[in-house]
């Protein structure tokens, strides 16, 4: 009768499947690493964008300031022209000028009186 000789057992080391928590931790670590790498790659782009925006805002502020200075000069010039025209008119027609001024004053006084008058609620 043949004799059966058992072979020495070969142990197969089976690793346990990772738990859901371990899988989640691995995925989270991978995502965190990817996001960190993306942020590092995007940082120079963001810095250039911020620099461009800062330059644009600065340029707009300078243009606005220049426009305000120009408007102020133009207003001063127009005021001077109107003043000169009024002075010339007063010298040429003083009596008529006094009558016009009195009429304008009367209209202004009437409007102020009408606007400040008590009104029933």
pTM higher than 0.75, yes or no?
no
How confident is the model at residue 9, as a pLDDT?
A: 53
CA distances to 20, 34, 51, 53, 67 from 63, rounded to whole Å, are 61, 43, 18, 15, 6
24-28 long-range contacts (CB < 8 A, ≥24 apart) are none
What is the mean pLDDT of each successive set of 10 residues along the chain, which is 121 residues long? 54 70 88 90 92 95 96 97 93 92 94 83 59
Residue owning tokens 């426009």: 67
pLDDT of residue 20: 85
């Amino acid at each position: 009768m043949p004799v059966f000789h058992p072979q020495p057992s070969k142990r197969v080391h089976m690793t346990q499947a990772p738990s859901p928590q371990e899988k989640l931790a691995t995925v989270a670590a991978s995502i965190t690493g990817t996001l960190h790498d993306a942020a590092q790659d995007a940082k120079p782009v963001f810095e250039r964008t911020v620099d461009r925006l800062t330059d644009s805002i600065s340029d707009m502020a300078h243009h606005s300031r220049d426009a305000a200075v120009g408007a102020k000069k133009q207003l001063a010039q127009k005021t001077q022209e109107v003043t000169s025209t009024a002075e010339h008119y007063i010298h040429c027609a003083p009596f008529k000028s006094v009558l016009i001024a009195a009429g304008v004053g009367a209209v202004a006084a009437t409007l102020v009186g009408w606007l400040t008058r008590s009104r029933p609620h």
